[in-house]
Structure 1
Amino acid sequence: MIILKNVTLRRGSKVLLDKTSVSLNPGEKVGLVGRNGVGKSSLFALLNGTLHDDGGEFSIPAQWRMSQVAQDMPETEQSATDFVVEGDTVLLAAQHEVTASEESDDGMRMAYAYTALHDAGAHDAPSRAQALILGLGFSVAELDKPVNSFSGGWRMRLQLARALMCPSDLLLLDEPTNHLDLDALVWLEAWLKNYAGTMVVISHDREFLDSVTNVTLHIDNGRLVRYGGNYSKFEDMRAEQMALQQAAHAKQQEKVVHLQKFIDRFKAKASKAKQAQSRVKALERMEKIAPVLADAEFQFGFKAPLNLPNPMLAITAASFGYPPPEDAPSNATPTVIVQNANRSVLAGHRIGILGANGQGKSTLVKTIAGALQPIAGEIITGKGLNIGYFSQQELDVLRPAENPLEHMIRLVRDTPAGVRPSAMECREQGLRNFLGTFNFSGDMVKQAVGSMSGGEKARLVLCMIVWQRPNLLLLDEPTNHLDLATREALSVALNEFEGSVMLVSHDRALLRSVCDEFWLVSRGGIQDFDGDLDDYQVYLLEEAKRQREAASSRNAA
């Protein structure tokens, strides 16, 4: 059992935990939640021994083995498989003992060493490691590639696989879903449900927390408050508590009224029925999430688009992919990922784009946004189409050396006069005021973007999109760096948005709340997905199983 009794924890002069107590039982799966900066990562540091309490009593069973994801970027020429195998510390120790016993020429020691090596699972370690790697989205062809050949996000997936490979009694996971696509996320959930030890996880993905946790530990005003149940049950119980605080409840009433007006306006129109229904879902959850929204760093809304072309765009016989590298031979051909696509996006459409990793979701969005050109066919845009594009990599649209104010000034220059806001809003003070609504105030408007956190960069991209008054939103993983409260604020804002939305996300709560239909990007094409997200999770698990079977066949050969 993990016990904290009257524990005080400080970081510098700031008191994070103030004489607080809690107990965690063996085998419990704990979701650790709270606003950014309240001390979640510091509590992790206390649990793993890198930070010591400033008062009270803290204990954890001495014999417990601990595993967590290393935060450093691995630099090694080891293959992906060998790197993950080394995460098994028991196996590694057994291998070292075999080597030492052989050098000692002690027959009895060697016998014990080889028995321990067998008991540590040396015979199937590579296949266990490869199952983890494939589950987290790698292909069979990448199992033997060197770690250094992967980008940063993929190396962090290997660090996660390495942590899962380690036999443990306590597993600490800090934002394990940040670098994952939905297919890898679904696989990870299934793996964690079978984990036998105690787990504590920090995550801003509500459905992930609902799926893998049975206890919620909330850090609130220096206290650790334990709730029995997953995140949704915590949310329900906290909402009941907060209902007594009329100010938090009243703060949401204006948004409730706005959604109800939309529903009343359009529920009788067949062409608007889907859009109205998504607002009904949002309204049903509104009162429950009021306490969470009250904790959000900021809340915002999209202004009504200046016009709504219909159709927004039409994709005709189009192929999407990447042109040859600049240094490629003149006869090199483009890399085609999606081909012969024929789709249209109508005014008010709210489309979730699904597909396993590498199938072309981001390629599709980049091409519609104009960041890539179609390799074949064409995309015909409606008159007055105004796209707001959130890239999965914020720095694709942000300039690290510039500050938020410079970004807004450049945005004004690049926006045609006919679609700009008023002259007052385009002046420096107007831009400063607008940045302030997204929590960029004071010195922050002059801070270089390159020095900002991921959440601050995401906030700036959202700020720039809202200012442009788009009628089509292209959102590629917009929640990666947003906390739970801000994700809920985004969900509310998207449900109030009157234009069209195309969304790629591994946040299923956001997909369920916002989208009325789904496109599946798979095996080189785009088609309607006739099912809900639960059906899609079954599809992803079947795909993962197929990949594991292919890897097993490869190893057997």
Structure 2
Amino acid sequence: MADVGQVLRQSLPEIDNTIADYLHGVLEDGGDFDESDDVYEAFGEMLHQVDDSKTEDDIRDICTRLYKIIVPDGGGNGKVNGQHKILGAPVVIKDVKIDEIEEEAGSIWLSKRDGNLSTVDKKKLEKAEAKLQMKKDRRDQAPVTIKKVDSGIELASASQQINRRDAKMDASGTNKSLDIKIENFDVAFGERVLLSNAELHLVYGRRYGFIGRNGLGKTTLLKMISSAQLKIPSHISILHVEQEVVGDNTPAIQSVLQCDTKRENLLRQERELNVKLNTPGCENESVLSTKLSEVYQELSAIEADRAPAKAAVIMAGLGFHSSSQDRPTKEFSGGWRMRLALARALFTKPDLLLLDEPTNMLDMKAIIWLENYLQTWESTILVVSHDRLFLNSVSTDIIHLHSRKLDTYRGDYEVFKKTREERLKNQMREYEAQKDYREHIQIFIDRFRYNANRAAQVQSKLKILEKLPPLVPIEKEPEVILRFPECESLSPPILQLDEVEFYYSQTQPIFQNICVNSTMTSRICIVGENGAGKTTLLKILLGELSPVSGLRHVHRSLRIGYFSQHHIDQLEMNMTSVEVLAARFPGKPVEQYRTMLGSFGVSGELAMRSVASLSGGQKSRVAFAVMSLANPNFFILDEPTNHLDMETIEALGNALQKFKGGVVLVSHDERLIRKVCKELWVVSGGTVKSLEGGIDEYKKIVEAELVVKS
């Protein structure tokens, strides 16, 4: 089989030995060329100069023959070098001393030296080598575009550019890094671009809080990563807590243990081997015993015997009492099955854990426990959350989604806020300075434009103006304002429970001797563990449940506006927001519907989009508009901050402060509670008590209980 040198000398008899050696050395590393056109692009011009009688097709044919030598299989996945070993480095002509070489007529690579000797023209060779290096760099960085459409995320789609070198390392299994770098990617929802030319870098072991306004694409991005719409190294394990655990007869704790597939497989092998060994007349007993011993060693290495205790601790921290951990998963509500999904994720410990508003499903005790647990998390976390205190407790970095870009800040949320404010101030100063400088130059140009003596100066100023970077105004996020409608004032008593007793069965009483009272100025927060009866208390206040004994007093003109998460789920997803309001309250002008939606930030094109295409926070705003259209004078709100971004939570707090009616809410958002509520009702042990000391006192009680349990 001919080698590179033979092909060059047979095809180009006049080729200089130095050039042949140079080409020979570079071509021996076949990994730099993916097709024959790459060889032609790198060396075609050089070969034309050697023999200008050759046509382009002749030179391309030579390059193809060379490529087939260095890549015998034609460049498939099994690409290998030809018959020559790869040299440690290619021959660099500029470093080779040539003593006696006759100059070839017309060669651009050789120039005369004194004494009729010839040497390499260094400038031309450097230029050729630089061109070759640029070609190699471009090939290494050449983007491979992946574009997919995920039918499971409605109209969401993603496109991504992948570094070819990284793709090769991933395919070969040589990439062992657990850092994640997604570069130059776009995400769109239908025709609306959510992210454009964005970059996401996640360093292994750091905990990233992911924030941004509602509807910008945070949840969509998490889904793109978990569903492999956006490609990351295949050896990195990902777990996205998104869907609740399927309800069946599997005990809750077993559903958590099952997600450790390695442990489950080893236990299955142990059972199968023991069955075979205990079978009369067992063959290959020694082989089976050896295998069983190996299984036991592996189980011991992963501490399989400690797994049930570990799972029980996680479940207890998330609110599952020991008596409920053995209940079948089908007996739990959707919210509790979501907690099971979170427990499975914490038990599995993937390389990348994706959490989307994990505190939505948790009470304050579970939130505090989760904060403490995640602070010792060893792998990478990307968590979408609008709970400031949670982010301050958990996050080592903040990723901010805005203007279709992702910006990363070191530190927790409070550090991010200060850093961003300072960055915006600096950007504004730069913008104003650049604007003033432009105006100064423009004034000079306008003043002396028609002055012949200043023509040269005017032309110089015009060139300066042209070279200045474009003047781009600072893009500020609009302020969020929520407005509840005005309501009439009512004289007390407004809404109260007097010695109320309630139970579904006499053997399991829920409330006994409840006495609570609220007025038009009330700002009450109801707190307590999940399952303590908070929702039941709300239903008694609403009149949906009647006390077994005792009285519910309500003002005859009281109109209660009730907000709960299931109201969001019950919105007609195929309708627009305007159509939803028109269906609930028919006969009103369209302008009135739009005005009400606009007072909750659902305006313009957003109001005419289908509810299904809205984010969770935007759906909450539509639910607020539905609630407010009846012009209530008393609000009962069950977890109103779920899915709302921080700016909207702040706006909700301001709106509730200005509202003239009474407010009773269930919430675990500490910032909202501090901002709005003046009174705290604690639901516990079948009673409801007003807690002096407010949220600070309640947190002390909860933290003390966690310390005792641990």
Distance 2:569 2:506 in 1: 25
Measure how far apart 1:355 and its partner are.
0.9
**What residue number does 2:229 align with?**
51
**What residue number does 1:377 align with?**
550
1:498 maps to amino acid: K
1:336-415 to structure 2, matched below 5 A, reads: 336-382=509-555, 384-394=557-567, 408=581
Measure how far apart 1:41 and its partner are.
3.8
**What residue number does 1:200 align with?**
382
319, 339, 348: which one pairs with 1:166? 348
**What residue number does 1:493 align with?**
655
Distance 2:524 2:414 in 1: 25
**What residue number does 1:152 align with?**
334
**What residue number does 1:221 align with?**
403
Distance 1:311 1:245 in 2: 55
**What residue number does 1:431 align with?**
593
Distance 2:607 2:223 in 1: 32
Other structure's SS at 1:393 match: helix
Other structure's SS at 1:138 match: coil
2:400 maps to amino acid: H
Q: For the Cα contact (< 8 Å) 1:91–1:117, is it kept in 2?
A: yes
Q: For the Cα contact (< 8 Å) 2:360–2:642, is it kept in 1?
A: yes
Decide whether aligned partners of structure 1 residues 381 and 440 sit closer, same or farther in structure 2, where only a CA change above 3 A counts: same
2:307 maps to amino acid: A
Other structure's SS at 1:378 match: strand
503, 509, 517: which one pairs with 2:679? 517
**What residue number does 2:33 align with?**
none
Measure how far apart 1:384 and its partner are.
3.2
175, 179, 182: which one pairs with 1:2? 179
Other structure's SS at 1:510 match: helix
Decide whether aligned partners of structure 1 residues 376 and 195 sit closer, same or farther in structure 2, where only a CA change above 3 A counts: same
Measure how far apart 1:540 and its partner are.
2.6
**What residue number does 1:528 align with?**
690
Measure how far apart 1:5 and its partner are.
6.7
Decide whether aligned partners of structure 1 residues 9 and 132 sit closer, same or farther in structure 2, where only a CA change above 3 A counts: same
Measure how far apart 1:301 and its partner are.
1.1
**What residue number does 1:255 align with?**
none
- Cα offsets for 1:402-433 (capped at 9, x unmatched): 875566457658xxxxxxxxxxx944442344
Greater Cα offset, 108-117 or 95-104: 95-104
294, 309, 319: which one pairs with 1:112? 294
1:188 maps to amino acid: L
- Cα offsets for 1:88-139 (capped at 9, x unmatched): 2442343345457666844333222212112322222222212222222223
Distance 1:66 1:243 in 2: 38
Greater Cα offset, 308-317 or 222-231: 308-317
Total equivalences in the alignment:
477
**What residue number does 2:12 align with?**
none
Other structure's SS at 1:77 match: coil
Distance 2:606 2:204 in 1: 44
Other structure's SS at 1:239 match: helix
Distance 1:353 1:467 in 2: 25
- Cα offsets for 1:390-411 (capped at 9, x unmatched): 1242169867798755664576
- Give the RMSD, CA atoms, in angstroms: 3.6
2:187 maps to amino acid: R
2:520 maps to amino acid: A
Decide whether aligned partners of structure 1 residues 392 and 233 sit closer, same or farther in structure 2, where only a CA change above 3 A counts: same
Greater Cα offset, 334-343 or 373-382: 334-343
Decide whether aligned partners of structure 1 residues 146 and 295 sit closer, same or farther in structure 2, where only a CA change above 3 A counts: farther
- Cα offsets for 1:347-381 (capped at 9, x unmatched): 32211111111111111112112222222211222
TM-score, normalising length: structure 1? 0.75
**% of aligned pairs identical?**
35
The answer to whether 1:235 aligns with 2:408 is no
Unaligned runs of 5+ in 2: 1-177, 277-283, 429-473
Distance 2:406 2:669 in 1: 26
Measure how far apart 1:519 and its partner are.
1.1
20, 30, 36: which one pairs with 2:208? 30
2:208 maps to amino acid: V
Measure how far apart 1:186 and its partner are.
2.1
The higher relative CO (CA closer than 8 Å, separation ≥ 6) is in 1
1:74 maps to amino acid: V
**What residue number does 2:132 align with?**
none
**What residue number does 1:68 align with?**
240
- Cα offsets for 1:429-480 (capped at 9, x unmatched): 4234433444556898788868876444422221133333333211111122
Measure how far apart 1:21 and its partner are.
4.3
Decide whether aligned partners of structure 1 residues 17 and 410 sit closer, same or farther in structure 2, where only a CA change above 3 A counts: closer
Distance 1:312 1:224 in 2: 49
- Cα offsets for 1:157-192 (capped at 9, x unmatched): 111111111133432222222322333222211211
Distance 1:407 1:25 in 2: 44
| Structure showing greater Rg | 2
**What residue number does 1:140 align with?**
322
Distance 2:687 2:653 in 1: 29
Measure how far apart 1:194 and its partner are.
2.3
Q: For the Cα contact (< 8 Å) 1:321–1:363, is it kept in 2?
A: no
- Cα offsets for 1:67-88 (capped at 9, x unmatched): 4325264243211011011122
Distance 2:220 2:608 in 1: 29
Decide whether aligned partners of structure 1 residues 39 and 294 sit closer, same or farther in structure 2, where only a CA change above 3 A counts: closer
The answer to whether 1:125 aligns with 2:307 is yes
Decide whether aligned partners of structure 1 residues 375 and 92 sit closer, same or farther in structure 2, where only a CA change above 3 A counts: same
1:532-551 to structure 2, matched below 5 A, reads: 532-543=694-705
Q: For the Cα contact (< 8 Å) 1:394–1:457, is it kept in 2?
A: no
Q: For the Cα contact (< 8 Å) 2:392–2:413, is it kept in 1?
A: yes
Distance 2:706 2:391 in 1: 21
**What residue number does 1:463 align with?**
625
Unaligned runs of 5+ in 1: 247-290, 323-331, 414-424, 550-557
**What residue number does 1:552 align with?**
none
**What residue number does 1:472 align with?**
634
Q: For the Cα contact (< 8 Å) 1:519–1:529, is it kept in 2?
A: yes
Q: For the Cα contact (< 8 Å) 1:293–1:488, is it kept in 2?
A: no
1:351 maps to amino acid: I
2:543 maps to amino acid: G
646, 654, 670: which one pairs with 1:508? 670
- Cα offsets for 1:217-270 (capped at 9, x unmatched): 112223321111112222233234446799xxxxxxxxxxxxxxxxxxxxxxxx
Other structure's SS at 2:293 match: helix
Q: For the Cα contact (< 8 Å) 1:31–1:216, is it kept in 2?
A: yes
Distance 1:243 1:516 in 2: 36
Decide whether aligned partners of structure 1 residues 68 and 192 sit closer, same or farther in structure 2, where only a CA change above 3 A counts: same
Distance 2:526 2:535 in 1: 9
TM-score, normalising length: structure 2? 0.60
Distance 1:77 1:292 in 2: 53
Distance 1:433 1:16 in 2: 27
1:215 maps to amino acid: D
